[in-house]
């Protein structure tokens, strides 16, 4: 797999989004989130999203001219209407509103309705943690991708949840996970790389495992014409009912509170919901030092004796932090199939293809 210079990846995202019709300020926010995602090793939610975004703009389900606004405020709660546009700019506003409320009240909540895809949830909780807050983010997804435990067909989305906690003098501990075995956009990465899926990720209507990446990805894009769906975290044999329960929790926090779509309601523009929570550790008084506690816990976990000496025990967020260090120097890997899809997308939108090999 070829690597591409970080600067060219960042510029390609920005010029592509501008060609899609986004205002410069919104394109800049989206670029920062998507580029940080690529640096962190989450290849499913960075530059690889450009083809899907362009497709959704072209078919009218994603509003590139969205006017996103604050529509309700009560105490520590702020609610935003995303106007069916890109989720990244309104998510930054909602998390920042939650952080500001937490500085005043100890906790703050940002809720978003009428939204589309917001990229990687982890980027928003990191935003909170780097300001000394505990951050939580969840997102409902309208497309039917996840099979409820025991069901023949998919209904729920991948329904991600992210959490970050500040650590004294170090990068935050954080986790960003789908409540499916893998996120749908990771299937996309395998599909464009022409690689089989790596395990019991997806099944058909008879419960048989499907490993053809492109077949599964196409099914996720058109769930009404297929009985293929992703399994919840835990799969069929290792506690998948727990992943299904987590997905239900995420759906309620994200969609029920914000007034967004039911899962599987795919008519017209997307109206998915987000939930952002910020907690100020200082609100708990002087009896605890949360950042120092997190530092000691991280050191203790990393210091545990590993089964394999060549595979030391890691803590949530370690792989992503290492990826940022590596990719900032050595470039960002992108499969040839995805590069071709990006080229076709940006040129179709009227932008120049500028990815440069590292």
Residue 358 lies in a domain: yes
* pLDDT, position 142: 75
Q: Is 28 in the same domain as 157?
A: no
**Higher per-residue pLDDT: 298 or 262:** 298
| pLDDT at 266 > cutoff 90 | no
Q: Is 261 in the same domain as 174?
A: yes
* pLDDT, position 286: 86
Q: Is 242 in the same domain as 341?
A: no
Q: Is 143 in the same domain as 11?
A: no
Domain count, the chain: 2
Specify whether the CB–CB gap between 135 and 127 falls below 8 A. Answer: yes
| pLDDT at 247 > cutoff 70 | yes
Segments forming the whole domain that contains residue 22: 1-59+329-358
Q: Is 109 in the same domain as 171?
A: yes
- 357 phi, psi to nearest 5 deg: -65, 140
> 157: domain CATH number?
3.30.1370.60
* Strand positions, DSSP E, the chain: 2-4, 69-74, 77-81, 107-115, 134-139, 161-167, 170-177, 202-203, 229-230, 272-279, 332-334
| pLDDT at 351 > cutoff 90 | yes
Q: Is 51 in the same domain as 113?
A: no
Each residue of 93-139: pLDDT tens digit?
A: 999 999 999 999 999 999 999 999 999 999 999 999 999 999 999 99
Please give the average per-residue pLDDT across 300-322, as a whole number.
97
Residue 218 lies in a domain: no
Residue 313 lies in a domain: no
| pLDDT at 267 > cutoff 90 | no
Rg of the chain over CA atoms, in angstroms?
20
Q: Is 111 in the same domain as 239?
A: yes
Give the position of tokens 């007034």.
259
Each residue of 217-245: pLDDT tens digit?
A: 999 888 877 899 999 999 888 899 999 99
pTM comes to 0.94
> Nearest to residue 41, comparing CAs of 357, 250, 330?
330
CA-CA distances (angstroms) from residue 58 to 51, 91, 163, 204? 11, 23, 34, 30
> 10: domain CATH number?
1.10.1530.10
Q: Is 6 in the same domain as 102?
A: no
């Amino acid at each position: 797999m070829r690597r591409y210079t970080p600067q060219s990846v960042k510029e390609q995202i920005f010029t592509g989004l501008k060609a899609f019709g986004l205002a410069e300020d919104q394109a800049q926010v989206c670029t920062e989130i998507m580029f940080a995602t690529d640096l962190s090793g989450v290849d499913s939610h960075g530059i690889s999203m450009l083809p899907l975004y362009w497709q959704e703009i072209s078919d009218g389900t994603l509003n590139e001219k969205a006017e996103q606004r604050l529509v309700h405020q009560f105490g520590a709660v702020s609610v935003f209407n995303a106007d069916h546009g890109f989720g990244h700019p309104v998510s930054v506003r909602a998390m920042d509103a939650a952080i500001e409320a937490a500085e005043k009240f100890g906790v703050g909540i940002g809720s978003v309705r009428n939204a589309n895809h917001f990229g990687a949830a982890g980027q928003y909780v990191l935003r909170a943690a780097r300001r000394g807050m505990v951050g939580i983010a969840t997102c409902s997804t309208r497309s039917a991708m996840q099979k409820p435990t025991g069901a023949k067909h998919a209904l729920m989305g991948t329904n991600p949840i992210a959490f970050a906690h500040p650590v004294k003098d170090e990068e935050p501990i954080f986790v960003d996970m789908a409540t499916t075995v893998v996120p749908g956009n990771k299937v996309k990465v395998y599909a464009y790389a022409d690689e089989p899926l790596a395990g019991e990720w997806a099944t058909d209507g008879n419960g048989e495992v499907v490993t053809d990446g492109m077949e599964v990805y196409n099914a996720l894009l058109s769930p009404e014409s297929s009985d293929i769906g992703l399994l919840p975290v835990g799969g069929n044999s290792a506690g998948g009912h727990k992943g299904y329960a987590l997905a239900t929790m995420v759906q309620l926090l994200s969609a029920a509170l914000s007034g967004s779509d039911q899962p599987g309601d795919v008519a017209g523009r997307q109206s998915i919901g987000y939930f952002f929570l910020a907690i100020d550790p200082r609100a708990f008084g002087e009896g605890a030092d949360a950042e120092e506690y997190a530092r000691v816990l991280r050191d203790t976990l990393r210091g545990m004796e590993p089964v394999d000496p060549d595979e030391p025990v890691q803590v949530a967020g370690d792989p992503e932090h290492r990826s940022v260090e590596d990719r900032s120097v050595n470039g960002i890997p992108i499969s040839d199939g995805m590069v071709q899809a990006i080229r076709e997308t940006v040129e179709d939108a009227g932008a120049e293809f500028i990815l440069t090999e590292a």
